[in-house]
A = this chain, B = another copy of it.
Amino acid sequence: MSGLTHFDGKGDAHMVDVSAKAETDRIATAACHISMAPETFDIISQGRAKKGDVLSVARLAGIMGAKRTPDLIPLCHPLPIAKVAVDLTLDPDLPGVRVEATVKTTGRTGVEMEALTAAGIAALTIYDMAKAVDRAMQIDGLRVVLKDGGKSGRYEAV
């Protein structure tokens, strides 16, 4: 299957051999957002100022989720993650929360999946924490916005 590196010549799935690739500094940033009812947004926003901070829990879940990526994505290589940051921004125009996750490594393959997993798990954790008041929240726009390092070079979402 031309182009899909996760399949070998016979069409069977495998974890691609990266042993001949150079260990280079790599970075990836992924983003998504979760939309909610205005009342839900107000409850979460108020917690930001006081105690009981939904965003702190979601940020931590995203960071820890990045470390579980090779357990979750079948053909993903385990990597020595060097940095994870998850930025959460309250956006009254959604209304909801914008999520951006950045992961760095020095390794033989990229960290897009780690960044996407971190962003996705952070957003799902917001859903979990607010679902008692709002079941109709929705996560959209989960994608890679930046990738750099490695042979394939820099990619930025337009």
Which A residues are closer than 8 A to B by beta carbons?
A: 1-8, 10-19, 25, 32, 43, 46-47, 50-54, 56-57, 59-61, 63-68, 70-87, 104-108, 112-113, 116-117, 120-121, 123-125, 127-133, 135-144, 147, 155, 157-158
Contacts and interface: CB of A to CB of B under 8 A. Distances in A.
| Chain A, interface SS category | mixed
Given A11-B51, A15-B81, A43-B2, A64 B68 contact: no
A74 B56 contact: no
Contact of A139 (B18, B60, B61, B142): B142
A84 B79 CA distance: 14
A117 B53 CA distance: 22
